[in-house]
Structure 1
């Protein structure tokens, strides 16, 4: 009789413990623990960060409520040894399993890069890198390597022509080299057969179109003026006349606050001095936008 009571007591205790562990297990895996009652947020994991750093940052900035259950689940799913850098969107009321699977998968939330109003390479580097993991210096190093490779017959004067101002989606972890490759792809997309045919009809290369478009963009205060200005310069080129484009002198002097070009400015010995030298300068004086490129082509 006594043994039966002991057995019954053990059975009840086991059931209670089993139920308790099952409930806690469910809580660990399925109960909301991420941004509970809050809005979705972006979480960035930098290269070289370890699990402890990530967990502590998540807790410190209120991404997770229960750090113990998150740690337990992370070890269970081996996330503590499989951290992947990136930019992730953590959603409101995610449970531990959902969040850890997302972070472990490396399935990032794309980010946007936008650049315009750029004259010089360092300006491009500063505008193209803020929303990605690349440092401006690393971008410039990659651009220099691209120029030295002569892969697209572009040099230090013309390499910037592959960057067509726009907004692009990329991953935060994109490398500088991959970013340049992406810009080459976008550049090739822009140069459709129709646009290439128009350039051929003008007997101008792609880089020459970009160079002239950069001058047109600097001259035109309104987009509709672009075609008129482009036509004027194309006529001068065809007649062997100097372009006499003031924006090229501003670029040659490097004084971008210069409001009025004087005779003294036309005396500078620079390949960008279109008063002194006929033809186009060796490369663009800014990054021409699509409207300026099409103004020249049309």
Structure 2
């Protein structure tokens, strides 16, 4: 009897040792599997539909050649069941991702993010064409108008009312929600800058400041010139002079503009032809950035009434028409 007991004990410990060894080997294999990089050398998108199971995910990853869907994948789900609570959405798998890091991403819903930039100086029409080309973004036919209506802006004139900035989104995001952020940001910036404006400006409303800022934005890309450009227009408004700025004429021409402004164009009666109309045009002509808004609110303390391009992005500023004509002769007519 003692002999059989000893044999049983020996067999028990032998089996136990084998099981422990097998368990340790399996644990090591599982650890190595869960922390080994997936087989890919460039990012891939992963679209998980609602109801996709943990096991269906493993099969798809195997079909892509990213890992082997075997007992290790199945055991990982048993060992850490919280990793099986994956969420639907569009994700990005990156080089260096492991089964464990990927599953963690899917469980917390860390979906792929996209971004777009609304560039200052562009029109609503240009922005809309740009937005229509972006991936995974839900568009409606007139998103800018839609946002105005949702925000109770009854003017139905979206030009200049959206703040140029970079915005992030997830797949399936409605563009209107992002443009709402842009609209509200512009209203906040405009009101703050209007409240802190220099006193005595010939501007009656924040909207007029917005219009002026849009013209400044189109006239120069040089940061140190914005306040000077602003001063020219403010000085002309104070004197009752016409602004005579080409960007407003171009905006008023719309699709008819072919890259050149003719004398005939300058004689056309349009609401945006500041060679013909007094004061500001009726709406902004583009989206001004914050620096142009600040320049409109704080013009430089100078007496300039004219400026002309040097054709290198900078301008020559003049107080008198005679000085201005000499600058035009030198830089535009190429006369010595």
TM class by shorter-chain length? Answer: 0.7 to 0.9
Number of the residue aligned with 1:271: 271
Counterpart-to-counterpart distance in 2, 1:127 and 1:71: 45
Counterpart-to-counterpart distance in 2, 1:117 and 1:109: 26
Number of the residue aligned with 1:261: 261
Structure 1 residues 1-298: aligned runs within 5 Å? 1=3, 5=7, 8-9=10-11, 11-29=13-31, 31-33=33-35, 35=37, 44-46=45-47, 48=49, 50=52, 55=58, 58-59=61-62, 64-68=66-70, 69-70=72-73, 73-74=76-77, 77=81, 82-87=86-91, 92=96, 94=98, 96-108=99-111, 111-116=114-119, 119-127=122-130, 133-135=136-138, 137-138=139-140, 141-151=142-152, 153=153, 155-158=155-158, 160-164=160-164, 166-168=165-167, 170-173=168-171, 174-187=173-186, 190-191=189-190, 193=192, 195-198=194-197, 201-202=200-201, 203-220=203-220, 222-255=222-255, 258-298=258-298
Secondary structure of the residue that 1:198 maps to in structure 2? coil
Task: Report deviation, 1:108.
Answer: 4.7
**Number of residue pairs matched by the alignment:** 290
Greater alpha carbon shift after TM alignment, 26-35 vs 230-239: 26-35
The 3 A distance-change label for structure 1 pair 43 and 154 is farther
**Equivalent pair of 1:199/1:209 in contact (CA under 8 Å):** no
Secondary structure of the residue that 2:196 maps to in structure 1? helix
Counterpart-to-counterpart distance in 2, 1:119 and 1:267: 25
Secondary structure of the residue that 1:278 maps to in structure 2? coil
The 3 A distance-change label for structure 1 pair 295 and 194 is closer
CA RMSD of aligned residues (A): 3.9
Unaligned 5+ segments in structure 1 are none
Larger radius of gyration: 2
Unaligned 5+ segments in structure 2 are 299-336
Secondary structure of the residue that 1:161 maps to in structure 2? coil
Q: Per-residue displacement from partner, 1:223-260 (whole Å, max 9, x unpaired)? A: 33322222222233344443332112212222486443
Task: Report deviation, 1:123.
Answer: 2.7
The 3 A distance-change label for structure 1 pair 54 and 287 is farther
The TM-score normalised by the length of structure 2 is 0.67
The 3 A distance-change label for structure 1 pair 156 and 266 is farther
The 3 A distance-change label for structure 1 pair 181 and 37 is same
Task: Report deviation, 1:105.
Answer: 0.5
